Amino acid sequence: MIPRKHHKLLIQGITGKQGTFWTKAMQDYGSNVIGGVNPKKAGTDHLGVPVFASAREASKTAPFDIACMFIPPMMAKDAAIDACEGGAKLLVCLTEHIPAHDVMEMHVAAKANGTRIVGPNTAGIVTVGECFVGIMPAFNDRVFKPGRIGVISRSGSLGTLISLNLAQEGFGQSVFYGVGGDPMIGTTSADALRMLDEDAETDAVVLCGEIGGNAEETAAEYASTMKKPVAAFIAGRQSPPGKKMGHAGAIVSGGKGDYASKRAALEKAGVAVADTPSQIPGLIRQRLKAA
């Protein structure tokens, strides 16, 4: 699901410092924030919207489509389950360092309630020029310009860099889809690739991957069925094996999840793989011309 202007957005943890800063940024950009959650401030208003005791409570008078969590890791599971039970179609989970067993329970609740989780540990989604959910610099017009290239990234910072590279070379973006740096994420790179493949506003897709796991290999399988051009950059070629490179999911262990296997899988699927992020716009131009 790609967030749109008409989607009703509920912010869990809206009254905190980060919740306040980013909710305001989302509102200014055009996101339709209809309320927030903080059990201690239920009944008050914040940033011009009502604050509810829970997402379930909100759903009674202010039904929502998307929930976005600004919630610390140890409280994230309860908040996520609350959002699922409150009827969120999409739950954007920004929180990093949620215990893995809690994440598994979140996925069970999501499945039972028909919620799609994006993340954990995602920087969010930008529907460029329309709305955004999360902590991406959507409002920075040197990074994000409305256009027709979709960007998928496990990392917010790398996704920002690639979007900037595209913008510097005159390519605007349709959607930035941050899937998250955790090992057990709700929406995979392959899922995001399918969404952008089906999106009429997107002509080509850039996949920003990293070492660890098999998300790129699975995405490659889907990419091989696509008509739209796909270019990719995989971070971590120089990273030593056996070390977690910041993200919990970015680790090469027992020879699995390494750079070479990801690159080989993507190239076999016909994806143009860049050596540096700055090569991405050129590869996209080439592929679009050939298409």
Partner 1 sequence: MNFEEHAAKPLLARYNIAVPKSRLAHTPAEAEDAARQIGPCVVKAQVPTGKRGKAGGIKLAGTPAEARQHAEAIIGMTIADWPVEKVLVEAQTAIDRELYLAILNDSATKGPMLLFSAMGGMDVEEVAERDPTAMRHFAISISDGPTLAIAQKAIEGLDLEAAGDELTATILNLYLAYRELDAELIEINPLVVTKENHVVALDCKLTLDDSAASRQKATAAQAAPERYTDLEAKAAAAGLKYIELGGSVGVLANGAGLTMTTMDVIAHYGGKPANFLEIGGEAYTKAKTALSILLENPNVKSLLVNFCGAFARTDVMAEGVVNAWEELKPDIPVFFTIHGTGEDEAIALVRERLGIEPYDLMDDAVKAAVAAANTRSPA
Binding region for partner 1 (CB under 8 A) out of 33-41, 58-66, 223-231, 234-242: 234-242
Q: Which of 58, 103, 175, 252 binds partner 1 (CB under 8 A)?
A: 103
Q: How far apart are CA 90 and CA 118, in angstroms?
A: 7
Within 1-40, which residues bind partner 1 (CB under 8 A)?
Answer: 18, 22
Q: Which residues contact 128 (CB under 8 A, 6 or more apart)?
A: 138, 144, 145, 146, 147, 172, 173, 174, 175, 176
Closest CB 25 distance from partner 1, rounded Å:
9
Range 53-56 contact pairs with CB under 8 angstroms and sequence separation of 24 or more: 54/82, 54/86, 55/10, 55/12, 55/79, 55/82, 55/83, 55/85, 55/86, 55/87, 55/88, 56/82, 56/85, 56/86
Q: How far apart are CA 283 and CA 130, in angstroms?
A: 27
Closest CB 248 distance from partner 1, rounded Å:
7
Backbone angles phi, psi at 10, to 5 degrees: -110, 130
Identity of the residue, 129 or 257, whose beta carbon is nearer to partner 1 in the bound complex: 257
DSSP structural state of residue 159: H
- The yes-or-no answer on residue 101 being catalytic is no
Q: How far apart are CA 71 and CA 17, in angstroms?
A: 11
The size of the interface with partner 1 (CB under 8 A), counted in residues, is 62
Binding region for partner 1 (CB under 8 A) out of 47-55, 102-110, 190-198, 260-268: 102-110
Does the protein bind partner 1 through residue 114 (CB under 8 A)?
no
Say how many residues make up the chain. 291
Closest CB 219 distance from partner 1, rounded Å:
14
Does the protein bind partner 1 through residue 276 (CB under 8 A)?
yes
The residues of the shown chain that bind partner 1, judged by CB under 8 A, are 18, 22, 73-74, 94, 96-101, 103-105, 107-108, 123, 135-137, 140, 142-143, 153-161, 164, 168, 181, 183-184, 186, 208, 210-211, 213-214, 233, 235-240, 243-250, 275-278
